Amino acid sequence: MNQLKTFYLFICELLFSILRKGETNMKIKIQSEVQEEKETLTEHVERRLQFSIGRFVDRIDSVRIRISDVNGPRGGVDQRCSILLKLKLGKEIFVESTETSWEAAVDLASDRVGRSVSRTLQLQRALRFQSGMVPREGVMWS
């Protein structure tokens, strides 16, 4: 069990480092109006995006994240996270979540964008298959 956990952490760190180094040509832009240390906020956002869209990085052109405080100092459910993701095939995916903390808003929005990217790519594969663009035997499409 300990070896499995170590391997999992290694893979997560490897994927995270690929995102950070920009080896995938995916652009990430974070805008924030929240009073939080920039480094803490950036690390949390990048980690959540890695878990939700890490397996799709070769199909993503750019990601724009905006974190804002809707009500200002009044409190309540007012921390909003908006994510605009542009796929290399030209489609855009927009998700938004509003929660009591910016961390919860980022978590929910990143989960939603991951599911949306997965659905969009599955639909694209299904349409390609239905249109008769079936790969030759032994050839795999992503």
For the chain, 142 residues long, give each residue's pLDDT as a single digit of tens: 555 555 555 555 655 555 555 455 678 888 888 777 888 888 899 899 999 999 999 899 999 999 988 877 676 678 899 999 999 888 999 999 999 889 999 999 999 999 999 999 988 888 877 776 655 555 555 5
- Beta strands, E only, the chain: 27-32, 60-69, 79-87, 92-99
Q: Is residue 141 part of a domain?
A: no
CATH number reported for the structural domain that contains residue 59 in this entry? 3.30.160.100
According to the model, what pLDDT value does residue 29 have?
86
Q: Is residue 6 part of a domain?
A: yes
62: domain range? 2-130
Tally of structural domains, the chain: 1
Q: Are residues 31 and 45 in contact, defined by beta-carbon separation less than 8 angstroms?
A: no
Q: Is residue 136 part of a domain?
A: no
Q: Is residue 107 part of a domain?
A: yes
According to the model, what pLDDT value does residue 134 have?
56
Q: Is residue 67 part of a domain?
A: yes
